[in-house]
A and B are shown apart, each in its own frame.
Chain A
Amino acid sequence: MALAKIIVVTSGKGGVGKTTSSAAIGTGIALKGHKTVIIDFDVGLRNLDLIMGCERRVVYDFVNVINKEASLSQALIKDKRTKNLFILPASQTRDKEALTEEGVQAVLEELAKDFDYIICDSPAGIERGAQMALYFADVAIVVTNPEVSSVRDSDRILGILQSKSKRAEQGKEPIEEHLLLTRYHPKRVELGEMLSVSDVEDILAIPLLGVIPESEAVLKASNQGTPVILDTESEAGMAYMDAVDRMMGEERPLRFLEVEQKGFFKRLLGG
């Protein structure tokens, strides 16, 4: 499994933007020319297919491949918009035990022969699906909202990454951790109503990969089944592209963290 880089997108808490981020970042990496697959680990609650706009093309799924009811090439869905990009949808089975460690490992090993990046879109919670999504990871993107329960759950997930992952169990170099702060609202931060980037950085103490501002473009993109990163006019789309650039080792200053200035008078008085 040494060839492909395995990235888990995780958070603990639900609804913070894991699938949105998986779709955006996976698409962004593929746009850079790397062969990329995004795997939906949310067994029973499949949604990556909807966000990626390929829900009507799902025939076989991740669990079918694990159970050898279908081959990987039968289950993989090639993205229609982005070159180099594939999706492996989750199963809608209610059997929570469907994701076995051996099964997941076998699928990841086969994918690793052919892909440069494997993005594991974790389900919420800390149950089996979430544990399997992070177990084999080399890199973790911890998606966090500037809100108390999300930050606390992110810290809990960091603890699991550091103790229950394969790298931790085998005493290897730890999983590389990155913070992705989503649904950021600069105006509310300025008013003291929302935790700031530096507040969350202080508490979680992991390197910041990016800050995605709260944006209407995200809902619009999911309505249409288009990863928001393809909306290159939107702040959220640009912020995700910046995050992907940073992952690839490029320097990108943080953007969209300031409330837009009103003009000369405001500038004179502060900000």
Chain B
Amino acid sequence: MGIFDYFKSKSASTSSASVAKDRLQIIVAHERSKRQQPDYLPQMQQEIIDVIRKYVKVGNEDVQIQLDNSDDCSVLELNVTLPDQN
């Protein structure tokens, strides 16, 4: 490693290649998690939203459903953002 590598590494985080890598890591991780979810998840999500709507006024984006698979168990995470009371 030469002395100029020190300066090179400083600019590395702003190079267009590192921007590309960051963007790819995010989109690929996102698409992989979608790929692993079962086919019924979108419909189940919609039905859960419909049930919640019977009682509280929420939009589609206020309900997040995520399925996480670890080694021997799957966790279905349901996150509902309720509207302000006032």
Contact = CB atoms under 8 A, between A and B. Distances in A.
Interface of A: 147-148, 151-152, 155-156, 159, 163, 189, 191-196, 199, 202-203, 268-271
B41 interface: no
B12 interface: yes
A152 B15 contact: no
B3 A270 contact: yes
A148 B3 CA distance: 31
Interface of B: 1-5, 8, 11-12, 15-18, 20-21, 23-25, 27-28, 31-32, 35
Contacts, number: 55
Contact of A189 (B8, B17, B23, B28): B17
Contact of A152 (B3, B4, B8, B27): B27
A183 to B, nearest CB: 15
Contact of A156 (B3, B12, B18, B31): B31
Nearest to A188: B17
Given A148-B24, A199-B20, A203-B25, 8 more contacts: A151-B24, A152-B31, A191-B15, A192-B11, A193-B16, A193-B17, A203-B21, A203-B24
Given A159-B32, A159-B35, A193-B15, A148 B1 contact: no
B4 A195 contact: no
A270 B32 contact: no
A194 B20 CA distance: 8
A195 B28 contact: no
Contact of A269 (B2, B16, B17, B21): B2
Contacts of B16: 192-193
B17 A155 contact: no
A203 B30 CA distance: 12
A192 B9 CA distance: 10
